[in-house]
Amino acid sequence: MKKILGIIIVTVFCSTYLSAADKTWNPPSYKMYTQTLTEKVMASHPELISATFHGPVPGKTKVYTMFGGSYIDRIGNADDDDDIMVIEKGITILDPRWHKTHDPIQKYVVQLPLRNSAGENIGLFVLAYHRNNNSTQTDRDYLDSATSIRDTIAQEIPSYDALFSPAK
């Protein structure tokens, strides 16, 4: 019994420590403009599970972080290598999540460059779509949808810095 209790305590301690260690940034206390954009996207697109914004945060260089999105508790989490690749190289990743048994629900993820109103790549925009095994949607359908959503919100992003300003 003591051994089991010890394992539980160590597990809780490690998961708490690792969660805190994964945070590379703490958002300001005010609601950022990024959250306004997130709410607008999620309200307009019920086919989405989530929408998130990633990139370097104010005051830090080459520290890539999720700085806004529909998963509020993940804001400040360090970006993965594939996220950074999209940010630095401007590529798009289509991920049908096949054989990803740890996902609580089936989804299709599109990672694409975030753009401002001038059409410049300024970060990463990730959209996760509801998906099921009977879906007839193709990779092209998801790409077209994600690109349309990204291009629509780009018109509302005058600059990268604007994303961190107080909500309008």
Q: Is there a domain that residue 66 lies in?
A: yes
Question: What's the predicted TM-score (pTM) here?
Answer: 0.85
Mean pLDDT of 108-137: 95
- Is residue 16, in this structure, part of any structural domain at all? no
| Residue 56 belongs to some domain of the structure | yes
CA angle 132, 124, 107 (to 5 degrees): 10
Whether the predicted pLDDT of 56 surpasses 50: yes
The answer to whether residue 4 sits within a structural domain is no
Q: For residue 137, what are the CA distances in angstroms to 41, 45, 95, 124?
A: 20, 16, 13, 23
The answer to whether the beta carbons of residues 142 and 129 sit under 8 Å apart is: yes
Q: Is residue 8 part of a domain?
A: no
pLDDT digits (tens, 9 = 90+) for 13-40: 333 334 455 799 999 999 999 999 999 9
| Residue 87: CATH number of its domain | 3.30.450.40
Answer whether residue 2 is part of any domain. Answer: no
In the three-class reduction of DSSP (H, G, I as helix; E, B as strand; rest coil), residue 129 is classed as strand
* Domain, as residue range, for 93: 25-164
Assigned domain for 6 exists:
no
Number of domains making up the chain: 1
Q: How far apart are CA 79 and CA 66, in angstroms?
A: 6
